[in-house]
Amino acid sequence: MNIFEAVVQGIVQGITEFLPVSSSGHLLISQHILGVKENNLFFNVMLHIGTLIAVLAVYYKTILNLTVACFTLLLKLFTGKLHLKKINKNEQMVLNIIIGLLPLFLLFLPLPGMLGNVKQVAEELSNEKNIIIVGISLIATSILIYKGIHVKHYSTFKNVTYDSHHKSAICDGKSKISFLDALWIGITQFIAAIFPGISRSGSTLSVGLMRGINKQEALDYSFILGIPAIIAAAALELKDVFEEKTFSSIEITPLIVGVIVSAIVGFLSIKIFKWLLKTDKMMIFVIYTFTVGLGALIVGIIEKILGFNVFTGISI
């Protein structure tokens, strides 16, 4: 991998990890177009580290507060003073994160026959040379986001307030995420982990909105929930790296460049996402993911018929 390819994939990872367009789907599409034959696990791990740096930079204050809340919860638990009805917002968030992460353990659920477990099936889908699955998943992401941003028109969970002139109603949604909300969002994150093309941030945000949660609260929870998910994904890939010894196949300069680019672009992506959600401009992602998904689906079908990659001429 050269520096140009590292920059391209760093940009793709930084943008798509946090914007609701699917990082896994776009990385597969970019590799498909560039003709990258093998998916270098070590490089992917480092790109994840770059985006992890980005989210830590944006939410460092929240993370510090949650760390303190975690120790407070443990202290209350061991002293017998833990009462769920009396916990504060940060302690509630810690418990919600734990609940939201539980469905990810289903990735290690064994499947009947020779299929292995859910994680291995997900890896097979990500290694698929044909991009039909990515196209279908991106279209599913588009539908989810559309449903999420329009839920305020029919949600039964509305919290209606009025502006300073008491003229226009504002539907804010719930400011508190319940344990059931966290579980539904966690299940959605599990599904997104299986199919390349289903955006983790987009799908979890949309389900949060469908549950009637305030849009900024839902977005912050989605990003915070993504931190341990990113760490876990990087750790699992790192384990595979040492087993397969793929770290020896990449040069250090493209590696460093890719990490820096993914961190900077990821930081900007989070800020842009928060602004677009606040200003109700999320339809751009509905249109974009549907267009890219439809394009990938059409190209994938054509390649399946022709038997080769239309960008590189390589047989599939």
**Helix/strand/coil percent split, the chain, to 5:** 70, 5, 25
CA-to-CA distance for 26 and 296, rounded, in angstroms? 10
pLDDT (0 to 100) of residue 152 = 56
In a domain, 88, yes or no: yes
Distance, in Å, from the CA atom of 144 to the CA atom of 210, rounded to the nearest integer, reads: 10
CB atoms within 10 A of CB 229: 21
Burial class (CB in 10 A: 0-12, 13-18, 19+), 294: middle
User: What confidence tens digit (pLDDT) does each residue in 81-101 have?
Assistant: 888 888 999 999 999 999 999
Residue 313 placed within a domain: no
Query: Can you point out the beta strands (E) in the chain?
Result: 160-162, 169-171
Burial category of 100 from C-beta neighbours within 10 Å (exposed 0-12, middle 13-18, buried 19 and up): buried
Tokens of 61: 């204050």
Which tens digit of pLDDT belongs to each residue from 58-85? Answer: 999 999 999 999 999 999 989 988 888 8
67 inside domain: yes
**What separation, in Å, do the N-terminal and C-terminal C-alpha atoms of the chain show?**
21
Please indicate, yes or no, if residue 126 is contained in any of the structural domains.
Answer: yes
CA pair distance 137, 140, nearest whole angstrom = 5
Confidence label for 241 from pLDDT (cuts 50, 70 and 90)? low
The mean pLDDT of 210-219, rounded to a whole number, is 92
In a domain, 104, yes or no: yes
pLDDT of res. 166: 47
Give me the phi and psi of 19, to 5 degrees please. -70, 150
Q: Residue 18: inside a domain, yes or no?
A: yes
What would the mean pLDDT of 186-213 be, rounded to a whole number? 94
Q: Are 286 and 139 in contact (CB under 8 A)?
A: no
DSSP letter, residue 188: H
Number of folded domains in the chain? 1
111 and 118 in contact (C-beta within 8 Å)? yes
**Which value, in Å, is the radius of gyration of the alpha carbons in the chain?**
20
Q: For residue 163, give every residue at least 6 positions away whose Cβ sits within 8 Å of its Cβ, in sequence order, or none.
A: 170
Q: What tokens does 148 get?
A: 């999420």
C-alpha 155/C-alpha 38 separation (Å) is 45
pLDDT, the chain, mean: 86
Residue 51: domain span? 3-306
Residue 204 lies in a domain: yes
Q: Is the pLDDT of residue 296 over 80?
A: yes
AA identity, residue 148 = G
281 within a domain of the structure (yes/no): yes
Instruction: Report the percent of the chain where pLDDT is more than 70.
Output: 87
Tokens at 84, concatenated: 């769920």
Higher pLDDT, 166 or 280: 280
The pTM (predicted TM-score) of the whole model is 0.86
| Tokens representing residue 130 in the block | 């044909």
